[in-house]
Structure 1
Amino acid sequence: MKRRFDRTQRVADLIQKTLAHMLLTEMDERFRFVTITSVTVSRDLSYAKVYVSVLADEEDKIKQIVEALNNTAKSLRYNLAHEVDLRVVPELKFVYDESTARGFKISSLIDNAVKKSEKKTKE
């Protein structure tokens, strides 16, 4: 049996790929440290939630970047409409994805615990 892909997932992947390219090449320099981790599109393709991670540690800076992305969402949607061939281009809402930062935190905690246990076994 052939594996079928959901249309919303294909549209989400297309939006993710195109937006990532646009942020990297065409937008302001502050968006160069933004990574689009995933996109979810509503069933009727009218709304898209774009999850982003930011290469920054300060919460204020992260909030400012996500807010700036949401402020430029209309122009990004306009440019997206010219890049992709869709009848309706969904409205974009950018949301900070904490999973990457949380993963790095957990990884560093595990590394520290391993180093401490190695020191104790050497002594």
Structure 2
Amino acid sequence: MSYPRVKRLSEEIKKIVSDSIRNELRDPRISSMTSIVEVDVTRDLRYVNIYVSVLGNEKEKADTMEGLTKASGFIRREIGKKIKARYTPEVIFKLDESIEKGIYMYNVITKVNEENHLSEDDSNDTEDDSDE
């Protein structure tokens, strides 16, 4: 069951965190290709899981996650300044690789479709030759 207040709070936190990462954090470890995919606030509003996507190699991902983890106190303080709630939720960053997995799957499907298309063309060419 979805709770409207939790959903609204999640969206607001997503905006705040995205803005903070883009404009206020100066940590060189955090990649410029970092995006917030999803924000889940627990029902008791004590914790917020922030799913982050980082496009880059494994080192960039690890560095970005380390930088975000170190900046979680700052981000929590920014959330506390901008939302009116009894508790400011504790920020937990999690790496989300679903975008990269989607790109990989798209490439695999495209490759298979191209191979099927080429094999169909070859079989059509041989059928045309046998008809003559």
TM-score, normalized by the shorter chain, greater than 0.5: yes
1:99 equivalent in structure 2: 98
Name the structure 2 match of 1:86.
Answer: 85
Q: Name the CA distance, whole Å, in 1 between partners of 2:86 and 2:3.
A: 19
Q: Percent identity?
A: 25
Report deviation, 1:114. 0.9
TM-superposed CA distance for 1:44, in Å, is: 1.0
Deviation at 1:5, TM superposition (A): 5.0
Given that 2:34 and 2:55 are in contact with CA atoms closer than 8 Å, whether structure 1 keeps it comes out as: yes
Contact preservation (8 Å) 1:24, 1:31: no
- Is the 2:55–2:100 Cα contact (8 Å) retained in structure 1? no
2:117 counterpart residue number: 118
Q: Normalised by the size of structure 1, how large is the TM-score?
A: 0.87
SS in 2 for 1:32: coil
Mapped to 1, the partners of 2:115 and 2:73 lie a distance apart of 50
Shift, 1:10, TM fit: 1.3
- Pairwise CA distance, 1:115: 1.1
CA deviation after TM superposition for structure 1 residue 33, in Å: 1.4
From 16, 19, 33, give the equivalent of 2:17. Answer: 19
| Structure 1 position 12, deviation (Å) | 0.9
- Matched residue, 2:70: 71
Deviations 1:40-99 (A, max 9, x none): 11111011010010121x222212211210111001111222222333210101000121
Q: Match for residue 36 of structure 1?
A: 36
Unaligned stretches of 5+ residues in structure 2: 123-132
Structure 1 range deviating more: 103-112 or 20-29: 20-29
**Number of equivalent positions:** 119
Relative to the length of structure 2, the TM-score reads: 0.82
Query: 1:106 Cα deviation (Å)?
Result: 0.6
Runs of 5+ unmatched residues, structure 1: none
